[in-house]
Amino acid sequence: MAAAVRLLPVVTFMLMSCFPDTSSSRRDVLELGDADFDYLATEHETMLVKFYAPWCGHCKKLAPEFERAATRLKGSVQLAKVDCTSNSETCGRFGVSGYPSLKIFRYGRDSSPYDGPRTAGEKETKKYGIHHYMMKQTGPDSVHLKTEDDLQTFINHFDASIVGVFSAFESSGLSEFLKAAALLRDQFRFAHTTNLQLGQGYGTHSESILLFRPPRLSSQFEDSVVVFKDHMTIGSLRRFIRDHIYGLCPHMTLENQDRLKVRDLLTVYYDLDYQHNIRGSNYWRNRVMKVVTKYSGRGLIFSVANKKDFLSELVEDFGLGTSDGGEMPFVTIRTKLGHKYAMREEFTRDGQSLQRFLENFFSDRLKRYVKSEPAPERNHGSVKLVVAETFDDIVNDPDKDVLIQFFSPSCPHCKKLEPVYRELADMLFPDPGITIAKMNAVDNDVPLGYDVQGFPTIYFAPVGRKNEPIRYQGSRELKDFVKFLKREASHNFIISRSKDEL
C-alpha cells in the first residue's frame, strides 16, 4: 500500500504530461470588459482585440488559433478579448456589429480594423497568420532615420522600403507622409528623416520620397530606387507605391499573392529560395526579365514564385502534375477575368519558349485551360449533367432557358434537394425551350458571372440574358421553383401536370 501511495505523484505527473496545457495559452489572452478596458488597453503599445459572443460558431473556431497566436506574440503584441454579451458598452463604443470582430489598438486608441488571416500561422511552414501579420504592426508607423548607417540598415531588408526625406519635423509633407504610413503600414515599410543629405546619394537635393526595392531583387534590367515626384497627398503616395513597389518582375509569395492577382498576371514557378539560394533564385529570374522587358506596358504583369509554395494551385488550377517540367520552371497566366493558361512547352534557358508563349497570348492563339470532368457519354435524363467543357453548349444555348444547380458530391443539402430537383426536371421535360441542369462545382471550373461560395447554389440563365444569370434565392420546394420559373422564363413553358396541382 505504501508503495502504491509513493507512486501516485509520479503517475499524476505522467498523466498531466500526456495532455497539452492550454491554460497557459488562455492566460496569454487578456480578458477585458467595460470596467477595465480603457485602463488596461492604454498600457500596451500594440494590442489586437477580439470582440466575440460565447454562442458564436465562428468565434469558437477562431478561439484556439487566437490563443496560439497570443502565446507566440507574448512580449511583442498583446492579444485581448471582450465578451460583448456582458460588456455591451465597450462593444457599442467601438461599433461592433458582428462576431467575431477584430480591431488593432495603439495605447488604447482604436487604430484600424484587423483584416488579416484568422489562423495563428506557422513560420516554419511559411503559413502566414495572425503572428506574422501582427509582428508587422509593432513599433512606430514610420521609423525615424538619423544617419546613413540607419538608412542602409533599414533598406537592407527582404521587403521593399519607402523612405521620406524632409527638411524639418514641421514640414507639411512629413505630416502627410506619417498619415499615409499609419494607414498603409500593414502592407509596406516606412521610414523618414529630416537629414536632406541622406537623399543626395540618390539624386535628390530637396524634400522627396524614395522607394527602395529589396536588394535581393536588384537587377540590371530596372532601377533599384524610384523617386516620387508628384504633390504629396495620401492618395498620390498610395498610387505611386502601388505602381512601383513590385517592379518589373516581383517575387510572388503566399502573403502578397492577393495584391498581384488583381491584374492579368504571368508567373514563372521554380525552386526559388531567397533565404538560402539568392544566386540560384536570380539565375532564372534574370532570364525571365530579359524576355518580359519586351512586353512591359501591354497590360500583363510578371512575377516569379516558389514552385513548392503553390504546388496545389498548379495541380488544381492549371492541371500541371508534380513531375511536369522536372527542375525546369512552370509558366502560367491568370487573367483578372479568371481565364487560365499554362505553357506546355519546356522552359528553355535562352527564353525562346517563354517568348513564343507570350506572343501566342497577345495574339489570342492560346487555348484556355479549363478544369473539367469528362463529358458524360449518355445525358438523356431529365436533369442534364453539365461539365466545364459542355457548359457553353448546354447552359449558354441561346434558344433555351436553363436552371443550373452547382453542387458538391459530399454536400448533404444537395442530396436532400435531389428528389425535388429531379421532380422539377421531370415536370418540365416536355418543354424543349427549358433545361434543368446541374454541375459538380468541385471538379469543374465555375464560369465567370456565377458566384458559388456554398452548396447548393442555383442560377437561372434565361434566353437573351446569358451574361446576366439570375441567382435563385427562394425556398427549395417544388412549388417555389415553379413560381420562380414562371416569373423569369422567356416563354410560357409546358409542364406535365395541371396548373391546379401546383
Tell me, yes or no, if 91 is annotated catalytic: no
Compute the 3-state secondary structure of the chain and give helix, strand, coil in percent, each to the nearest 5: 35, 20, 45
φ, ψ for residue 270, nearest 5 deg: -160, -175
What is the β-pairing status of strands 208-212 and 143-144? unpaired
Helix H or strand E encompassing 180: helix 172-184
Q: Cα(386)–Cα(373) distance, rounded to whole angstroms?
A: 9
Active-site hit among 59, 84, 91, 249:
59
HSE-CB for 162 with a 13 A CA cutoff = 24
Sheet with 161-165, side-by-side order of all strands: 143-144, 189-193, 161-165, 208-212, 225-228
Query: How does DSSP assign 306-343, residue by residue?
Result: EGGGGHHHHHHHH---TTTTTTSPEEEEE-TT--EEE-
DSSP state of 390: G
Q: Cα(204)–Cα(344) distance, rounded to whole angstroms?
A: 47
Tell me, yes or no, if 84 is annotated catalytic: no
Active-site hit among 84, 91, 249, 414:
414
Closest C-alpha among 219, 306, 295, 308 to residue 267: 306
Q: Cα(494)–Cα(496) distance, rounded to whole angstroms?
A: 7
Contact 274, 309 (CB under 8 A): no
Q: Cα(261)–Cα(257) distance, rounded to whole angstroms?
A: 6
Closest C-alpha among 157, 136, 154, 142 to residue 73: 136
φ, ψ for residue 380, nearest 5 deg: -100, 0
Could you tell me if residue 236 is left (phi over 0), alpha (psi between -120 and 50 degrees) or otherwise beta?
A: alpha
What is the β-pairing status of strands 101-106 and 109-113? antiparallel
Enumerate the active-site residues.
56, 59, 411, 414
